[in-house]
Every structure is written in C-alpha cells, then in structure tokens.
Structure 1
Amino acid sequence: MSLISEQVAGTAREPEDELSAPGGTPATEVALPWIEDTDKVAPKDARALSKMFFDRLQTLEEGTHEYQYARNTLIEMNLTLVQFVARRFRNRGSGDMEEIIQVGTIGLIKAIDRFDLTREVEFATFAVPYILGEIKRFFRDTTWAVHVPRRLQELRVELAKAKEELSTRLDHDPTVKELADHLSITEEEVIDGIVAANGYTAGSLEAPSDGGDSAATPTRTLADVMGESDPAMEAVENMHTLAPLLDDLDDRERRILELRFGQEMTQSQIGAELGVSQMHISRLLTGTLNKLRTGMLA
C-alpha cells in the first residue's frame, strides 16, 4: 500500500449518487458543488472552492459520505502545492519524484486535517511548511542505514560540528567530557550520539562473519546470521515517549482521548456523552493531539 493510501485509507470518494440528490444537487443543507475533475479547476477557482469546502468540512461528522467527499476533494484540488514544493528536491538523488510527491501529500493531508479558517491565513501559506517538513523528514530518515531515533540523528549532527570546532581550537581530537561540556549535555548522551553515528553507514551483507576459509568450513556472511527487524520496536519507543505526556493532561483531555481512540466513538457521540457540541469536541481533540505531538517531537 502506498504512503498516500495509508494516510487516507477508508476515505475514498464515494459514488456520486450517494452524495447527490436526483438531478445532481448534493443532498445536504449547504450544497457542495460536485467536482468531477479537479485537474480542470483553475488555481484562482481552487482557492475559492477550498474555502467553501473547509467551511463545510468543519460542520460535517467524520465518516459520513459528504465528509469523505469534502476532504478528498480538498486533497485533490491542492495537490499542485505538493508538486510545487517537490520540484525543489528533484535533484537530491534520493527517491524518485513520484515517491517525493507521495511523501509531500502526507504533509498536505495533515495540513487539511489541522487547518482552521479562523486563523485568517491562506491555506497555501499554512500547508507549505507541513509539506516541506514531511519531505525533509523523508530525506533525513532515508539517508540512515538503520533506524535511529530522531533525537539521536540530530545529536549526531551537533557532535560532528562540535568535534570540528574543538579539534581546531584544542589542536587534538576532543574527549567525551570536552564534547559534553561544549554542548551542555551529559557524557552518556555524547556516547549515545557516537554509537548512533554508526547507523549512518552500513557494511555489506556479503561480508564474512567468521574465519572459515575452506571448502569444509565455508565462510558465513553477515546475511546468514543477521536477525530480522522487529516492527514493534518503534511502537514501544513511541509509547515510552507518550506515557508521561498523557499523565500531564487534565481529566477531560484524557477522557476525550479514551472515548475517541479507546472506545472509537465519533466526535458527535463524544459530544453527546459530555454534553457539548461536536465542534467543541473537535477543537478540544485537535488541541490535545497538537499538545502531545509537540511533546513527542521535543
């Protein structure tokens, strides 16, 4: 499954007859125009239509046919933003343009899900940093030979700069303590960063793993003895990071998260449970998720 389909799984556009009343008029209180081919929508018209669709999207319940139609149409109408940003990376030499556009589209989807018309900012201005961030993260992560936590990837860069600066100043290779003092971090963190740097390059899987050199004792390669990666490791890592952040939330924020992701209730159902509107739940949920996201990235 492509990166894009992973992000929008379950939100494919429904058939037109499920969104429209007889005669082609959308069967909703506030009608949304049916856009058959978003490629034919002029940029100026796309901006005006996007505002209309965003305004309507805020009043729709997740999971409904019209919600899916409005969200997917916004994605399709604004794909030119992804193509515009992706062109800046066409000569980077890692990943083909189609893959870069897929990654950038993930950023576009995140921007659509988080955009609020009350911000009084153009959607393009809001969306480009999301698109750019996803593409940059893609290039940063795919240059590593093995998975390394992002904080250690960034520490490796800081250590490299510090080593170069201190080597010139001290006229010798800096010690772990000198690096730690220079960066105002612990010696253990410096060691973690140095170990993580080993993940930036990889040896050949065909390299010998033992000293066997005869027909009777054939040489085993690294591929012969290498274990498989555990896909659950990243989930464990994320859970350890998330746990203390959840403890910092207030009771209402934790309750809303439990109802939304634990009991898989819709925003409308949560609103009815707590005695508030679906729009209010949407704002509270967005704020809570942004708070957790900021904490995890930090």
Structure 2
Amino acid sequence: MSTCQIHERNRSWLEAMAASPDANTRLRWRNALVEVNLGLVRMVAQRQSLRSGQPFDELVSAGNLGLIRAVEAFDLRQRCNLSSFAVPYIKGAMLHDVRDNGQPLRTPRRLRELQQRARRLQEQRRSRGQAPLANEALAAELGCRSGQLEEAAAVQRALQVCSLDAPLGGEDAGEPSCLLDQLAAQGAPSWATAEAGDPGDVPQGPQQWLLTQLEQLDTQDKRLLEGHWFEGRSWKELALELRLSCRQTQQRGETLLGWLQAAAGQIPASASESAIQSAIASKAAMAV
C-alpha cells in the first residue's frame, strides 16, 4: 500500500469513527486505527532508542499510549495527515515515560534482569513457605557466579532514589534527623547559618531564600526558572512563549541555574562540597 493510500485509509476510518452512533463502535474504529499504525510507533521508538539508549520495547509501550491519544484527539477539520499529527504525541509519551520511570543511572541491563530473576525466585520460595536462599545457593540456582549476583544487588541499591526528607536511622540529640540536615551540616549555605533576628540577614528557610533570589531576576529570567524546573516545561515550549530561539533559551536557563547554585553558598572548590551545594539548591527549588 502506497503512502497516499495509507493517508486516505486513515482519514476514511477517522471519519467513520467520528460518525459512529455509539461508544462501542467508536472504540472498535479507534482500536483498528491504532493497530494499523503501530509501525509508526516502532519507527519513532527506533530513533529514540538509538539517540537515548533506552530499551526499544519500553519506548514502544509508551509510544502506543501516545498513538491512542493522538487518534482520539485528531480533528477532521485539520488538513494534516494522522501520521504527522501523531508523531509529536508518540514522541512526547516516550519522553515523559523516560523522565518519570527512566533509571537515574545507566547500568547494564543484564544485571538489572539478573536482580529481577533473583527477587522473583526468593518471592516464590517465600510464598511456598520456604526459607530464602543464601547468596551462593541463589547464584547456583540462577546459573551465575556469586560475584555477579552481588554486583546486580549493588546496581539495584544504586538505582534506589532516596528522599532528602527521609529520616535517618538514629535520632540522637545533636544528630541530623534527615539527609537534608546532614548535607546542610557538612556545608550549609548562607541562608542555613544566618542568625534569626538580624534584620539584615537573608530570610530563613530554603523556600524564603529561593523566593528572595527569584525576586532579583527580571521577568523573562524568572519565567525561565519557574517554567522549566518548577513546571516541567520543555525549552522549546518556553522558547515559543518568550519568543527566543530554543538554543538561547536552554543556554540562558542553565546559566541561571548555575547562578542559583552559586548563590546557595558560593560553591567551594571541592567537588564533594560542590555536589552538596547543588543538592541544597535543588531542594530549595522543590520546596516552592
């Protein structure tokens, strides 16, 4: 079937879906349109997988949802083809899935799958009332070396995201109660160590401090910070809103974030302390 014939078929089916008298008939037309256009999802997923390194199957699963939304949202009054209309929906669904569910670190897939197999095996034993296997016995059962299993477990621990507000184990007097307090104790910025009661001091607390910093910016710079890091909008969306090029918008936004991190405590030379200050600045942003 030629490209022109595909476009004509899609439009005729969309017209039939729009003219359907009941919801069940519309659903059947929608499902038929999604099924015959799945190749479009695979094409976009292949490009995104090569570009980002994300698993192809996971991108396809997310892209299928985007295709469904595109078919449901298509307006017959538009002169564009369904494929042209659907690609941004498909790509957007993939990017959102990577953002929301993607791993924060790139790790070998074989180790992630090994850890999943080990967890399933241990859960099956517990459901049968059997004791969990020790590391060496579990490795023998899975057909791998114990060192590989330990490496897979270490990868799993590295992928677990810990909240900065999560309470620490002990609550002894004088000890930090959460990870954020521990970071602040190692390298607190000026707003964390300022004395309450001095009228010239910066307002206490990350939220007040951040608001004070934002008030120093002009309207456009403030919008860049709020739009990208608080509202999650893309650089392209903000570029259109502010009538700038996408490259200018991204460069300016990243420069502003660097300024904000530096303002959080005049970033020290030490790399570890720099990471601490960045974490504090990010936490301040999330507090708004």
Which TM bucket (shorter chain)? 0.3 to 0.5
TM-score by length of 2: 0.40
TM-score by length of 1: 0.38
Higher helix share: 2
Q: Which has the higher contact order (CA 8 A, sep 6+)?
A: 1
